[in-house]
Structure 1
């Protein structure tokens, strides 16, 4: 194989993983997802690096081979952890944590024992790389992570609450199986270039990144949806920035609009309101989402929140609809006593309820 071509493809794979890793870190994912995803990127780069050195230098050093296999085992664990966070699975019991680490522990023990008796791989008298008696067992032990991850993704796709989440879980499971098959082929037929695994990994990361974007966007208004809102509020509370306002908006008499003018007009009204919110909140730090139904959420990091509310009211009331259109707004300033994003949301929602009640009393 042309070593120059191999090196070029290798560096392309590394560049893709670094870019997507940084992109994921900058996105509003929960901390556990960031750590798991970046661990996958970092360990695969190390895995490629050790395998690249071994192949391009034609080195038969046992220690270098063992390091490469160790990084492979760590990669499979990292993918497994990423699957857990994507599916919302969190191990609580210590026994469950131990069992999830057991394949990795066995792999490390086999690598240590291999130094003494060559049970996994060894160098024969002609200085060629040969598989040991337990090599197949080692591969299958590491494949347990992929199999369980794919199975969990399949099961959770059936129990998903919406179509987007179901599709996301299925894509995750399909590509876990793809990694399993391509990785197994690479392990048993070592003449196949390792960049096949790198290419598969890069494609998988691209699809997961696109899928995360898709399940974060509300299809009607093209605003962030509830899932993305929860992730963003989680990050806001963790940052403990005191100059943040949470606004919860609800369209006044929206049920009446749907009943008298039809749901098509109601959908057009929601789209128009979404555009008004985008125009009113023009700062990059502002966050807008559709919470559900006729409710919207804004995270405002400016100083004059009353002026923002007035701009929103004015722009919505000017919309050319054959019915009166306006929103009620509940606003809550973040403070240090708020430790969970749900507490912050409840505080703003209560103020929204009070405004709606005052509106009915008029």
Structure 2
């Protein structure tokens, strides 16, 4: 992001110089400024593409073949810019020394647009996918990257020709998305990628006012059994891995169904789900435990969860602290029942 902001600053500076010296009597300066503008604009959009893909598709972006394939349009466009000094493919100077677009100018625009549109399209599709519900705000931010630049492009080409609108629109959009990402990170647990406790409270405050009439709102509180022993016997790094396994298991089961997931405390998690009745809640609980068992098969020790859940009362006398307290009491009861089972000969 630092390199993106730096390139955006350079692009704005060069764009302003191009506007100032548009009718300059120094053709070489005009040609140089426009070539720099083409290069910086290309590098800026490619840097954004790398940042966005790394944020949206971490696993896929880790594959070398995709990174190599993605850099091919960049290299071809850079070669076209270099050749334009002699061929005029992308830009040239007329007989009066003024800048004019070349016959293949659209190729440069398509490459830049490609690097902007691909992450935007991916994030836009994910907005409507239940499995990415917890990342909805982030996807909304990434999908908006094309809005301001397109509006600025129309302004620069149709309304105020020559004014440095595109670079300004792109910079404002990138900065707004960056602020949005930073704001989202305040509400996200960095270890697991889940929502944090503050976000859970805000979500509950909003959700209880919009519960579907044909559904019931359940709050699940989950806790890793003997987590302290895991840290002491296998190390805190292994403890972090355990928390990530639990988080991934919850995403696999609850995220796909559109339920809200959060890390509530050290080894405690929370799930908010709209369900039909208690039988659905019990079924969800079983699925969580089943997926967790499968995902933790490679560990040297058994990984188990205690789960308590409760129903939001619509009588108007319920409160969020009471709601959470009831779920935690059920969690404690589940832990005690396990302890009794283990102590019974």
What TM-score do you get using the length of structure 1 for normalisation?
Answer: 0.51
**Residue 53 of structure 2: aligned partner:** 84
- The one of 21, 26, 33 equivalent to 1:64 is 33
Q: Any stretches of 5+ residues in structure 2 without a counterpart?
A: 195-203, 206-218, 247-265, 268-300, 307-331
**Residue 146 of structure 1: aligned partner:** 116
State the alpha-carbon separation in 1 of the partners of residues 147 and 233 from structure 2.
45
**Residue 190 of structure 2: aligned partner:** 228
Q: Judge conservation of contact 2:148–2:169 (CA < 8 Å) in 1.
A: no
**Residue 42 of structure 1: aligned partner:** 6
For residue 131 of structure 1, report the CA deviation from its aligned partner. 0.8
Q: Write out per-residue CA displacement over residues 30-55 of structure 1, whole angstroms, 9 at most, x where no aligned residue.
A: xxxxxxx2221111112112222333
For residue 345 of structure 1, report the CA deviation from its aligned partner. 6.6
Change in 2 beyond 3 A, CA 1:328/1:344:
closer
Q: Does 1:338 align with 2:237?
A: yes
For residue 95 of structure 1, report the CA deviation from its aligned partner. 3.1
Q: Judge conservation of contact 2:137–2:184 (CA < 8 Å) in 1.
A: no
**Residue 221 of structure 2: aligned partner:** 294
**Residue 75 of structure 1: aligned partner:** 44
Q: Does 1:131 align with 2:101?
A: yes
> Equivalences for 1:1-362 in 2 at 5 Å?
37-58=1-22, 59=24, 60=27, 61=29, 62-89=31-58, 90-161=60-131, 163-173=133-143, 175-182=144-151, 184-185=153-154, 188=157, 191-195=161-165, 197-210=167-180, 212-214=182-184, 216-217=186-187, 225=188, 227-230=189-192, 293-294=220-221, 330=228, 332=231, 338=237, 341-342=240-241, 356=335, 360-361=339-340
For residue 122 of structure 1, report the CA deviation from its aligned partner. 1.1
How many residues are paired up? 232
State the alpha-carbon separation in 2 of the partners of residues 53 and 216 from structure 1.
38
Coordinate RMSD, CA, aligned: 4.2
Change in 2 beyond 3 A, CA 1:198/1:293:
farther
What TM-score do you get using the length of structure 2 for normalisation?
Answer: 0.54
For residue 69 of structure 1, report the CA deviation from its aligned partner. 0.8
DSSP 3-state at the match of 1:198: helix
Q: Any stretches of 5+ residues in structure 1 without a counterpart?
A: 1-36, 218-224, 233-266, 269-291, 298-326
DSSP 3-state at the match of 2:237: coil
For residue 334 of structure 1, report the CA deviation from its aligned partner. 11
Change in 2 beyond 3 A, CA 1:44/1:333:
farther
DSSP 3-state at the match of 1:137: helix
Change in 2 beyond 3 A, CA 1:340/1:106:
farther
Q: Write out per-residue CA displacement over residues 55-79 of structure 1, whole angstroms, 9 at most, x where no aligned residue.
A: 3344542222211110100111111
Change in 2 beyond 3 A, CA 1:345/1:148:
closer
For residue 102 of structure 1, report the CA deviation from its aligned partner. 1.6
Change in 2 beyond 3 A, CA 1:134/1:167:
same
Q: Judge conservation of contact 2:152–2:165 (CA < 8 Å) in 1.
A: no
State the alpha-carbon separation in 1 of the partners of residues 238 and 17 from structure 2.
48
Change in 2 beyond 3 A, CA 1:339/1:77:
farther
Q: Judge conservation of contact 1:330–1:353 (CA < 8 Å) in 2.
A: no
For residue 179 of structure 1, report the CA deviation from its aligned partner. 4.4
DSSP 3-state at the match of 1:191: coil
Q: Judge conservation of contact 2:89–2:105 (CA < 8 Å) in 1.
A: yes
Q: Judge conservation of contact 1:153–1:169 (CA < 8 Å) in 2.
A: yes
Higher alpha-carbon deviation: 337-346 or 178-187? 337-346
State the alpha-carbon separation in 2 of the partners of residues 38 and 148 from structure 1.
21
State the alpha-carbon separation in 2 of the partners of residues 165 and 125 from structure 1.
54
